[in-house]
Amino acid sequence: MTETMNEATTDPTCIFCRIAAGSIPATVVARNHQAMAFRDLNPQAPSHILVIPLRHVDSLASADNPCEVGGALALAAEVAEAEGLGEGGYRVVTNIGRDGGQTVQHLHFHVLGGRQLHWPPG
């Protein structure tokens, strides 16, 4: 099922909203009725996929729909399994605000794997 994007659910200035709407190309790897997943253009691991809600949400701090966040996280787990990351492990990360490292003001989860991920991340 494809959700219809409209003015109430998108920000026309947001790059991730434009990717979700199909007006900016991306290598989409999965999609459900609440979220989509696509390859990061600047990968930090052999597998680096971004999972975004289809509706514009600034960050996890302003998320108001637990089902929407859950749908995005469920898609992150599906993508990790499809990438073959389940056995070796992977990391799912979201950055919130400037000090948290958020550079795009649209909630997104990074699915990272395919190599040893060290802690603390930095």
Total count of domains within the chain: 1
Structural domain including 65 reads 15-113
**Taking the model in full, what pTM does it have?**
0.91
Q: Is residue 122 in a domain? A: no
CATH code at 26? 3.30.428.10
Question: Is position 2 within any domain?
Answer: no
CA dihedral defined by 8, 12, 13, 19, rounded to 10 degrees? Answer: 110
Read off the pLDDT of residues 91-100 as tens digits, 9 standing for 90 and up: 999 999 999 9
Tell me which residues are annotated as active site: 108
| Tokens coding 43 | 């990968």
Structural domain contains residue 9: no
Establish if 47 belongs to a structural domain: yes
Q: What is the pLDDT of residues 17-71, one digit of tens each?
A: 999 999 999 999 999 999 999 999 999 999 999 999 999 999 999 999 999 999 9
Decide if 88 is inside a domain.
yes
Show the tokens assigned to 111: 């699915």
Token pair for residue 44?
A: 């930090």
